[in-house]
Amino acid sequence: MNRALACVLVLGLAGCEPEPKVRSYTVAKTAQPAAPVPAAGPAMPANPALLAQAGAIGSPVFPAAPAGWTAQDPGAMRKGSWKVVAAGGTAELAVTAFPGDVGGRMANINRWRGQLGLPPATAEAYDAISLAKVGEAQGEIVDLRSADGAKATAAILAAKDGVTWFLKLTGDAAAVEAARKDLLAFAAATRLP
C-alpha cells in the first residue's frame, strides 16, 4: 500500500507545474524638465504654442537704467530684468510680452493680487486707472500693496500690434514706491519692436 500511495503522490505531483516565481524590477525614474516659471513676471500660459509665440516677439530697446537699477539675466521668457535698490529695500523689474491679452486685464490684475496674498477684485475696483506709456503705446499702471503693507507691485500693461507688454516692478513696498516715478520714465523711453 505504501507503494501505491507513493505512486499516486508521484503522479499527482508530476502533473503540477512548478509554482511561478515572483519577480521584481527596479526602473530608474527619468527626470522631467521643470516648466519655466519666472520669479516676478506674469504667470505663464499653459499653451506651449503661445509660449513659443511669446519667445518669437522681438526685444525692445531699453533706455539707460536709473541709478540703483542693475541689469539681470532676463532668462528665457523675459525681455528684460533689473534688480532695483531704493529706499532701503529691493524690488525686481520684469519685462515680458505675450501675443493677445493673456487672459484679459482683470485676470492679470487678479493674478498679481494673488501673488501679494490679496483676494480677487472686480473690474469696478479698477475703473479709475492711471495712464502710462510704454514707448509710443498707451497703457495703464496698476498699483497694489499686500495686506500687511510689506510688499507692493507697480505693473504697467500696454498693447501694441497684438502684443501685450508688461513691466512689473515688485518687491519691498518702500522700494517699489520710491522707484515708481523712475519706472514710468523708463517705460516711456523704451522703444517697442
How do the pLDDT tens digits run along the chain, 193 residues long? 556 555 444 445 545 555 555 554 454 544 444 333 333 334 444 566 655 655 668 889 999 999 999 999 998 889 999 999 999 999 999 999 999 988 999 999 999 999 999 999 999 999 888 999 999 999 999 999 999 999 999 999 999 999 999 999 999 999 999 999 999 999 999 999 9
Residue 128 is predicted with a pLDDT of 82
- Which class is domain 69-189? mainly beta
Residue 53 is predicted with a pLDDT of 59
DSSP state of 154: E
Residue 84 is predicted with a pLDDT of 98
Helix (H, G, I), strand (E, B) or coil at 125: helix
Long-range CB contacts for residues 25-34, cutoff 8 Å, separation at least 24:
none
Residue 162 is predicted with a pLDDT of 94
**Separation between Cα atoms, residue 95 and residue 60, nearest integer Å:** 10
Q: In what order do the strands lie in the sheet with 151-160?
A: 69-71, 80-86, 89-99, 163-172, 151-160, 137-145, 130-134
User: Domain locations in the chain?
Assistant: 69-189
Put residue 70 in one of left, alpha, beta given phi > 0 → left and psi -120 to 50 → alpha.
beta
Are the beta carbons of 96 and 184 closer than 8 angstroms? no
